[in-house]
């Protein structure tokens, strides 16, 4: 597996990481613990060094799972986790900024608790999960700086932050990574965020790089989601939206056939081709999907390939908002 540098302060990870949220949270009931531990260890064997979790995934149980799975290979991996919510809320359904909590004292409490759940001496990458408008970002960056100075955190990250917030945070404590949704069907970061990251020397970690599973081609207009699946509440996954958005999957299938690849691999290869400091974190709970996703790192898209795909995708009108309105309010602050 190729490696990529995120930011300018020494953070290096596998070109494709593993998002672990779905093992415990959001996509149906929690999966079998032993099977998920085996999956994460298989990922390490296949060259993955970058694993993503958060305290609210569960809550708490996903950090414990990731910590247990990676304990035998701790010195080989980078573990990212996140702070920024009140831990008595469900960030998928408790809407609005009242769910947020990035007070400096809370950040430090979360760090100590995450260290214990992960079973590690230091958090490799500590993200603010969502920007809290009630707390100046300078105070947030200062709290993480204190944690870095204390040896409890190595690198500072933000998630779904707006351009001015990134600049202000970076001036207090250098931001190594921004985690943002970014894929062929969510390209808003291209307008302002990606140029800013290039200017400041900040890496980008796209979450939902496969559109929460949609870009794999495994869904159709008849796909449905249980009440314990976050996608049941997302406008883009309503039946009419799914039907309209299949045009994006059809495009990926056409290109995949030419490259002897799968739609998911083309979607990930397109992301990898955007910038050398982008490392997506597709999530999965299945070994064959893990192997498929990692295969994207071996697919070479030429500059004309990337330009043609980008142009064709831009001509497809994506139907449905990515989040309900009140959840969207917690992004790009």
172 CB-near residues (< 8 Å, 6+ apart): 137, 138, 141, 142, 145
HSE, CB side, 13 Å, CA atoms: give it for residue 86.
9
Q: Where are the beta strands (DSSP E) in 160-248?
A: 177-181, 203-207
Output the six-digit token pair for 254. 């056409």
Residue-wise burial string across 107-119, b where 16 or more C-beta atoms lie within 10 A, e elsewhere? bbebbeebbebbe
Specify the 3-state DSSP secondary structure of 183: strand
135 CB-near residues (< 8 Å, 6+ apart): 102, 103, 104
Distance CA 244, CA 241 (A): 5
Residue with tokens 């990529």, as numbered in its chain: 4
> Which member of 27, 57, 182, 207 is catalytic?
57
Answer yes or no: 127 catalytic: no
Residue with tokens 């799968």, as numbered in its chain: 262
Query: Mind telling me the catalytic residues?
Result: 57
């Amino acid at each position: 597996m190729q490696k990529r540098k995120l930011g300018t302060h020494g953070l290096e990870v596998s070109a494709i990481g593993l998002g672990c949220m779905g093992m415990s949270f959001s996509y149906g009931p929690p999966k079998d613990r032993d099977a998920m531990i085996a999956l994460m260890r298989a990922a390490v064997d296949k060259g993955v060094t970058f694993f993503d979790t958060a305290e609210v995934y569960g809550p708490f149980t996903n950090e414990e799972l990731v910590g247990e799975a990676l304990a035998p290979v701790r010195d080989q991996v980078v573990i990212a986790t996140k702070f920024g919510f009140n831990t008595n809320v469900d960030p998928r359904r408790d809407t609005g900024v009242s769910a947020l909590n990035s007070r400096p004292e809370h950040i430090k409490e979360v760090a100590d608790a995450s260290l214990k759940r992960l079973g590690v001496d230091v958090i490799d990458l500590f993200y603010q999960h969502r920007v809290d408008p009630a707390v100046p970002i300078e105070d947030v960056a200062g709290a993480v700086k204190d944690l870095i100075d204390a040896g409890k955190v190595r690198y500072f990250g933000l998630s779904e932050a707006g351009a001015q917030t990134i600049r202000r945070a970076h001036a207090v404590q250098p931001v190594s990574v921004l985690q943002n949704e970014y894929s062929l069907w969510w390209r808003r970061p291209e307008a302002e965020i990606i140029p800013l990251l290039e200017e400041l020397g900040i890496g980008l970690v796209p979450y939902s790089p496969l559109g929460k599973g949609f870009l794999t081609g495994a869904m159709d207009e008849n796909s449905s989601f249980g009440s314990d699946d976050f996608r049941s509440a997302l406008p883009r996954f309503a039946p009419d939206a799914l039907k309209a958005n299949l045009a994006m999957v059809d495009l990926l299938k056409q290109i995949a056939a030419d490259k002897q690849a799968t739609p998911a691999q083309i979607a990930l290869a397109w992301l990898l081709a955007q910038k050398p400091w982008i490392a997506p974190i597709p999530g999965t709970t299945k070994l064959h999907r893990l192997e498929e996703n990692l295969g994207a790192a071996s697919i070479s898209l030429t500059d004309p390939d990337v330009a043609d795909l980008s142009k064709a995708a831009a001509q497809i009108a994506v139907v449905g908002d990515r989040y309900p309105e009140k959840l969207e309010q917690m992004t790009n602050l």
